[in-house]
């Protein structure tokens, strides 16, 4: 088997589902912070379910391509793992809460979140989520997480716990260090912090991504 080479890296994209999802009030994360050095890639339990979540529509995005991807994956099997595909609300609180609940209810081996990033024309594998969240309003009318949604006393950065380089190579994608400051970032931060199974997140462009390409990416992690 040929070794997988790391995918290209992207240091500063605007993402999280909308353009210019940037923190304000001096809340940026230094791009040169050595956040990968201590990142732990968690093992995947053989044969256990895999949770893949997409998001529904939100202001400015009436059709979210990740909704169809999650629905199409539900009930499939990849590398001997049954896939549980679910669609989450674009809500700072309810989106991550539901993903965590589903992961525990199905005793999953892996969680992969999917989100749309309208400014991007390529697939991006996110390497981390950050505690800061300042952006446009979610479907519940909140323009940032409620106080108990992101961990107020939590770490500044929570790294994805999947092998992001392996996933990026299989997806022919870019590794991104900036998941934005919208719900996608909140999802990655909270879900990866809460669960002791591998958690990753992939941003897709508004045109979406081919299902077989996504399946190859998932298979590479299993």
CATH number of the domain that 62 lies in?
A: 3.40.630.20
First to last CA, the chain: 15
For residue 53, tell me if it sits in a domain.
yes
pTM of the model: 0.82
pLDDT in the model for residue 28: 32
For residue 11, tell me if it sits in a domain.
no
pLDDT in the model for residue 142: 80
Mean pLDDT in residue range 43-47:
92
Q: What is the sign, positive or negative, of the torsion defined by CA atoms of 16, 196, 40, 79? A: negative
> pLDDT (tens digit, 9 = 90+) per residue, 165-180?
999 999 999 999 999 9
**Most trustworthy range by pLDDT among 41-45, 55-59, 109-113:** 109-113
Confidence of residue 152 (pLDDT cuts 50, 70, 90): low
Total domains in the chain come to 1
For residue 25, tell me if it sits in a domain.
no
Closest CA to 197 of 162, 166, 147, 151: 162
Helices (H) and strands (E) in the chain, counts: 5, 10
Mean pLDDT in residue range 24-28:
28
Closest CA to 175 of 166, 186, 184: 166
For residue 167, tell me if it sits in a domain.
yes
Question: 153: which 2 tokens?
Answer: 């006393």
- Is residue 169 within 8 Å of 5, Cβ to Cβ? yes
Confidence of residue 30 (pLDDT cuts 50, 70, 90): very low
Helix (H, G, I), strand (E, B) or coil at 99: helix
For residue 159, tell me if it sits in a domain.
yes
Confidence of residue 140 (pLDDT cuts 50, 70, 90): confident
Comparing 138 with 152, the larger pLDDT belongs to 138
Confidence of residue 132 (pLDDT cuts 50, 70, 90): confident
**What residue numbers bound the domain in which 62 lies?**
45-221
């Amino acid at each position: 088997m040929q070794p997988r080479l790391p995918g290209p890296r992207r240091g500063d994209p605007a993402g999280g589902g909308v353009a210019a999802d940037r923190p304000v009030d001096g809340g940026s994360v230094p791009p040169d912070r050595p956040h990968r050095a201590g990142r732990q890639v968690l093992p995947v339990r053989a044969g256990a379910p895999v949770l893949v979540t997409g998001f529904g529509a939100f202001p400015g995005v009436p059709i979210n391509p990740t909704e169809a991807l999650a629905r199409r994956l539900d009930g499939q099997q990849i590398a001997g793992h049954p896939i549980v595909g679910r669609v989450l609300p674009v809500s700072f609180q309810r989106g991550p809460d539901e993903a965590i609940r589903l992961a525990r209810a199905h005793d999953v081996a892996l969680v992969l979140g999917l989100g749309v990033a309208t400014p991007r024309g390529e697939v991006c594998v996110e390497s981390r989520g950050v505690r800061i969240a300042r952006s446009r309003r979610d479907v519940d009318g909140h323009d940032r997480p409620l106080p108990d949604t992101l961990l107020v006393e939590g770490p500044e950065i929570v790294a994805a716990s999947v092998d992001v380089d392996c996933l990026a190579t299989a997806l022919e994608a870019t590794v991104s260090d900036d998941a934005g400051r919208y719900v996608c970032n909140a999802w990655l931060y909270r879900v990866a912090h809460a669960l002791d199974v591998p958690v990753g997140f992939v941003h897709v462009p508004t045109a979406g991504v081919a299902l077989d390409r996504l399946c190859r990416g998932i298979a590479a992690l299993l």
